[in-house]
Amino acid sequence: MSDPELPPEGGMSRAAFLAGMATSAVAATAAALAPLKDVADLPSLEEFLQKHYTELTPEDKKAILERIAKQVEKDTGVRPNLKDPPPIPGVEFGYALNIGRCIGCRKCVYACVEENNQSRDPQLQYIRVLKMRKGSIDVETSDHHYEGQVPEEGFYYMPVQCHQCRKAPCVKACPVKATWQEPDGVVVIDYNWCIGCRYCMAACPYYARRFNFAKPSLPKEDVNPDMGYLSNRPRPKGVVEKCTFCLHRTREGKYPACVEVCPTGSRKFGNLLDPDSEVSQIIKNKRVYVLKEEVGTLPRFYYYFDL
């Protein structure tokens, strides 16, 4: 197999040969590593060592919010009003969408992008509107990329976004508890803890989660400065994000952006624990269903129709 006495190449000493091999290996490795000089978004030491959200003290949080606000200002030129509003006791958010009234105008899609500081290029959207043929509830026959006049004869429209499931498969999937359910029912992600394995995306039955394949781009003029730590602050590259029912708004008594913008009033939002709230009344009195009931996720997002 081997003969230490035999130089591998004629005329060259064994030591010289090995030294030559080692030198070329080091040089080739250095060349291979060259693209690393383009890395522009390495985490700072504080960011790298940041603890899990649930382990942060109020002082930690304050320092982190300040650090992120500074970073956002540096990146976009806009000083954000970055907060971390807590869930309101006695509130569990629920959503109801009138499938009979939606006209498929996608105003919700774009209001959401503007509100939540999603990346513009590549553009990320949390809401997907399916153009469905009347007479079918099979999503496979739907059109996701319809254009032209809406509503079109013979079709109805079904918007889908995160259903904030009570039994959320994505929360179960995450290996590092970077995504969890808040007491008000909103499933959130800590963008500073997500490792970007995308197992939650495989687990989600509703195609609700998006991944930052590239560094998100958010032009200065598009920045929404009212930001929440667990919702619409700008995201880093390589992490997953999703709809949070605009918790930076809804925890302060406002409606989600998609509810506010809907021209047909198809979108209803409120407190499931309050029997008199609009959503509670809809669930009680209308024809209500949830999407993919058979997967057992128990969504807090309901579809309904009048009758």
Give the footprint of other proteins on residues 226-285 (CB under 8 A).
236-240
Residue 61 lies near other proteins (rule: CB under 8 A) = no
Out of 12, 16, 25, 298, which residue is the one contacting other proteins (CB under 8 A)? 25
Is the Cβ–Cβ distance between 161 and 152 less than 8 Å? Answer: no
CA distances from 68 to 50, 59, 85, 227, 235 (A): 12, 14, 16, 11, 10
Number of residues this chain uses to bind other proteins (CB under 8 A):
74
Residue 135 lies near other proteins (rule: CB under 8 A) = no
- Give the residue with the Cβ less far from other proteins, 161 or 250: 161
Name residues whose C-beta falls within 8 Å of residue 118's C-beta, 6 or more positions apart in sequence.
Answer: 112, 124, 125, 126, 216, 218, 241
Rounded Cα distance between 163 and 203, Å, is 13
Out of 130, 273, 283, 288, which residue is the one contacting other proteins (CB under 8 A)? 130
Work out how close the CB of 9 gets to other proteins at its nearest, in angstroms, rounded to a whole number: 8
Residue 307 lies near other proteins (rule: CB under 8 A) = no
Q: Which stretch binds other proteins (CB under 8 A): 93-101, 166-174, 247-255, 262-270?
A: 166-174
Is the Cβ–Cβ distance between 291 and 160 less than 8 Å? Answer: yes
Name residues whose C-beta falls within 8 Å of residue 110's C-beta, 6 or more positions apart in sequence.
Answer: none
Residue 199 lies near other proteins (rule: CB under 8 A) = yes
Pairing verdict, β 301-305 and 93-98: parallel
Residue 290 lies near other proteins (rule: CB under 8 A) = no
Work out how close the CB of 81 gets to other proteins at its nearest, in angstroms, rounded to a whole number: 27
Residue 78 lies near other proteins (rule: CB under 8 A) = no
Rounded Cα distance between 298 and 168, Å, is 8
Which of positions 38-57 make contact with other proteins (CB under 8 A)?
38-40, 42-43, 48, 52, 55
- Give the residue with the Cβ less far from other proteins, 87 or 238: 238
DSSP 275: T
